[in-house]
Each structure stands twice: as structure tokens, then as C-alpha cells.
């Protein structure tokens, strides 16, 4: 393949550098490009119609490290580029459809539920009235933005607390409510499993400083077995999303004596960070990703 590969990102940072090194180890060059700078040009019959700066013809594959947020129209236009690339025979890693399915927590929950994969009881609705009804009938609930980001905007709804107003506090007119799973008061933890092409390649236990365990919020990482039941559940979740690679979050209900009880899939990340995970494993996760990408794009 052409030795230059677009890596779509607006903020290459640590992950961009790791990918660049992994491409270089295979004699290839990763070129950082923002999806904001791509577009369509249908003025010439011979032209593929998709414009990627610095590329006169379409590459064999593109690595998606970020889809920048924006207005609904901007986000749709950016996803259109990914869809059009896939339709033109370009290997898009992860492809636009998989990104859509997983960025949207409601669709992820639906796909998990449909497959019968263990996930906390979840409700999605626009009606405050419905939310009040659910609150009256259920135990403690967590409220999340539909398009979450590294633990931001996630909150526990306390029974006495007034329901946040739509369009405030990350609600944006849609309520995503989930049964709160107690992983151990004061000993909060969950698991992150990294899956590439249906195989668990790395896993860690995350110990939170509070009940939200994201590494971005100070969660402490500890290596975990990839041949565990938790990793096997993560493989099922990835399969339900039909995705090249992903990071799956799994939480376990605390049992007596602080042991882990029932497992629940919380979410599937299609553009997962792996800096925390890389700090606890001895092999290069970026290289595993790039090698899998190259196999798909060959
Ligand atoms: N139902 C729940 N019960 C208990 N804790 C939860 C629950 N849902 C989320 N959490 C805690 O909050 C953290 C973040 O939740 P989640 O992984 O669903 O979203 P996110 O990481 O913000 O989303 P994204 O990865 O899309 O940015 C989890 O890792 C877990 O520690
Ligand atoms: Mg998460």
C-alpha cells in the first residue's frame, strides 16, 4: 500500500505519537489530518469525490483517532466522509457505523440488550414525567449524557434531588438513566478490556477515587487477566457492536466480603484511549492496533 496513511485526529498527543512510531516500525508514515479539513468535491468525473488534504488519490486505509464534535450538521458531514470512504473500498478503522453505534450510549444499550448481554437496567426517554415515574419505582440511578466523554457529565441522581432541567447539565433534552451498580463503597472499581478483532489483548482493573473510575478522573490502573470471565464478556460486547477494535468497560456488583458479584457491561468505546492500559502491560498496544489495521487494509 501507499506508504502514507491518514490518521484522523485533531489532537495527536501521546496516542498519535505511539501510532506514528508503530507505523514507522513497519516502514510507513502516519499523517495526522483533521476530519474538519476533509470534504467532498463532485466537480470532476474522474475524482473520487472525497477530498483528504495531501492525498490526490484515496489511501488504502484510514485510522480514525478522533471525530471532532460540533453542530449536528458538522458531525453528520464528518461521519459522511467516513461512510463514503468505506463505500469507496477504503479500510476505515473503526468504520463510521461502528463509531455511531458506540458513541451513542442508547444504541449501545439497545444492541447489548438485544444480544442478551448483561448490562445494567437502562432507560432512555425525553419525558420528565417518565423519568419521575422511573425514579419512584427504582433504586439509585445514574444519569449520563448520551454522548459521554471520559466520565464527564455522569452523575448519580439522589432520591431527594430535583431532576435537572433539559438542556442543562449535559441532558440536552434526552435522559439516559441507568441502575447504579455498587462496586464497593470506598473501594470503587471497574474493568477496561481492550479488544482487537474479537480477541481480548489487554485488560486492567481501575480503582476510582470516587464511584466514577475513569483514568481521566484519576482512576488507578492495575493489570488484569485477559483469559478471565470479564474479558470473555467484553469479547461478546465487542461482537454485538461489530467493531474492529474497542475498549469495553465492565463493572461488578459488590458481594459480601468485597468479592465481585454479577458483571455488567457499561459501555463500548470505539475511539478508546490506551495510555492507562499501556502503563500496566509490557507489549506495545499501538503496534497491535497498527498491525491489525494493516491486515484489514491490505
Ligand atoms: N450504572 C453505573 N453504576 C455504577 N457506576 C457507573 C455506572 N455507569 C458508569 N459508572 C461509572 O462511571 C464511569 C464512566 O461511565 P461510562 O464508562 O459509562 O461513560 P464514559 O466513560 O464517560 O463514556 P465515554 O467513554 O463514552 O466517554 C464508569 O467507568 C464507572 O466507574
Ligand atoms: Mg467509560
pLDDT in tens, 224-241: 999 999 999 999 999 999
18/60 same-domain check: yes
pLDDT band at 165 (very low <50, low <70, confident <90, very high): low
pLDDT digits 0-9 by tens, 275-287: 999 999 999 999 9
Q: What is the pLDDT of residue 181?
A: 96
Instruction: Tell whether the model's pLDDT for residue 169 goes beyond 60.
Output: no
Separation of alpha carbons 241 and 272, rounded Å: 14
Separation of alpha carbons 98 and 195, rounded Å: 14
Which ligand has the nearest atom to the CA of 211? 1
> Are 10 and 36 spatial neighbours (Cβ–Cβ below 8 Å)?
yes
Instruction: Tell whether the model's pLDDT for residue 30 goes beyond 80.
Output: yes
Q: Count of domains in the chain?
A: 3
Separation of alpha carbons 214 and 15, rounded Å: 17
Pocket test for ligand 1, best of 189, 249, 250 (most atoms within 8 A of CB): 249
135/219 same-domain check: no
Q: Please report, for residues 111, 125, 161, the alpha-carbon distance to residue 132 in angstroms, rounded to integers and kept in the order given.
A: 25, 11, 11
109/240 same-domain check: yes
Mean pLDDT of the chain: 93
How confident is the model over 202-223, as a mean pLDDT?
89
> Are 116 and 288 spatial neighbours (Cβ–Cβ below 8 Å)?
no
CA of 130 to the centre of ligand 1 (A): 23
How confident is the model over 29-50, as a mean pLDDT?
94
Closest C-alpha to 196, from 241, 232, 247 = 247
Q: What is the pLDDT of residue 148?
A: 72
Q: What is the pLDDT of residue 119?
A: 98
Q: Which protein residues are within 6 Å of ligand 1, measured from CB?
A: 120, 142, 144, 148-151, 154, 178-181, 190, 208, 211-214, 249, 251, 266-267, 269
Is 110 within a domain? yes
Q: What is the pLDDT of residue 171?
A: 59
Instruction: Tell whether the model's pLDDT for residue 168 goes beyond 70.
Output: no
Instruction: Find the CATH number of the domain harbouring 55.
Output: 3.40.50.20
72/109 same-domain check: no
pLDDT band at 215 (very low <50, low <70, confident <90, very high): confident
Instruction: Tell whether the model's pLDDT for residue 2 goes beyond 80.
Output: no
Instruction: Tell whether the model's pLDDT for residue 297 goes beyond 80.
Output: yes
Could you tell me the pTM of the whole model? 0.94
- The radius of gyration computed from the CA coordinates of the chain, to the nearest angstrom, equals 20
Instruction: Find the CATH number of the domain harbouring 258.
Output: 3.30.470.20
Pick from 10-19, 56-65, 66-75, 147-156: least confident: 147-156
C-alpha torsion sign, points 120, 123, 128, 132: negative
- Residue 247 is part of which domain span? 102-117+184-283
Amino acid at each position: 500500500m501507499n506508504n502514507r496513511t491518514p490518521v484522523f485526529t485533531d489532537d495527536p498527543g501521546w496516542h498519535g505519537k505511539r501510532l506514528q512510531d508503530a507505523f514507522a516500525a513497519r516502514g510507513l508514515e502516519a499523517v495526522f489530518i483533521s476530519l474538519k479539513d476533509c470534504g467532498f468535491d463532485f466537480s470532476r468525473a474522474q475524482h473520487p469525490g472525497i477530498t483528504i488534504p495531501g492525498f490526490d488519490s484515496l489511501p488504502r486505509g484510514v485510522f480514525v483517532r478522533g471525530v471532532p464534535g460540533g453542530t449536528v450538521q458538522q458531525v453528520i458531514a464528518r461521519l459522511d466522509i467516513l461512510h463514503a470512504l468505506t463505500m469507496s473500498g477504503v479500510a476505515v478503522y473503526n468504520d463510521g457505523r461502528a463509531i455511531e453505534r458506540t458513541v451513542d450510549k442508547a444504541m449501545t444499550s439497545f444492541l447489548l440488550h438485544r444480544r442478551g448481554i448483561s448490562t445494567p437496567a437502562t432507560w432512555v426517554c425525553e419525558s420528565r414525567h417518565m423519568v419521575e415515574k422511573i425514579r419512584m419505582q427504582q433504586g439509585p440511578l445514574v444519569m449520563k449524557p448520551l454522548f459521554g466523554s471520559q466520565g464527564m457529565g455522569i452523575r448519580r441522581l439522589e432520591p431527594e434531588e430535583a431532576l435537572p432541567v433539559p438542556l442543562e447539565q449535559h441532558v440536552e433534552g434526552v435522559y439516559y438513566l441507568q441502575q447504579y451498580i455498587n462496586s464497593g463503597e470506598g473501594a470503587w472499581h471497574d474493568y477496561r478490556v481492550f479488544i482487537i478483532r474479537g480477541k481480548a489483548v489487554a485488560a486492567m482493573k481501575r480503582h476510582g477515587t470516587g464511584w466514577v473510575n475513569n483514568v481521566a478522573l484519576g482512576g488507578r490502573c492495575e493489570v488484569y487477566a485477559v483469559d478471565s470471565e470479564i474479558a470473555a464478556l467484553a469479547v461478546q460486547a465487542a461482537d454485538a457492536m461489530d467493531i474492529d477494535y474497542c475498549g469495553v468497560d465492565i463493572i461488578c456488583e459488590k458481594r459480601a466480603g468485597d468479592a465481585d458479584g454479577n458483571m455488567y457491561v457499561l459501555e463500548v468505546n470505539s475511539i478508546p484511549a490506551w495510555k492507562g492500559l499501556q502503563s500496566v502491560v509490557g507489549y506495545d498496544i499501538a503496534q497491535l492496533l497498527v498491525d491489525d489495521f494493516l491486515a484489514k487494509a491490505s
